[in-house]
Amino acid sequence: PTRRSSDLVRAAFFGVGESNLELLFPTAADSPIANFLQKNPRGGLHHICIEVENIDAHLEKLKAQGRSE
């Protein structure tokens, strides 16, 4: 595990096939992850990241479909 003091979390990274899984543990009661866990006491999925070739082109396509960033 690594400590990211600026984010107030401890993080652990695991390779899962061609993907990566990041587990976060809050190190302060006022951290964003602590706030998420207060709202979701059973935990859950905070966000998903997907790597694409041309981020600007994909963002324009999403905007054209009426989706926000």
Render pLDDT for 36-66 as a digit per residue (tens, 0 to 9): 999 999 988 888 888 889 999 999 999 999 9
Amino acid at 16: V
Region of 19 please: left (phi>0), alpha (psi -120 to 50) or beta.
beta
What integer is the mean pLDDT of 7-34? 89
Alpha helices, H only, the chain:
32-39, 55-64
Rounded mean pLDDT, 27-37: 91
Beta-sheet strands, E only, within the chain: 2-4, 9-16, 19-26
Share of the chain above pLDDT 70, in %: 91
Q: Is the pTM of this model over 0.85?
A: no
- For residue 23, the cross-strand partners are 12
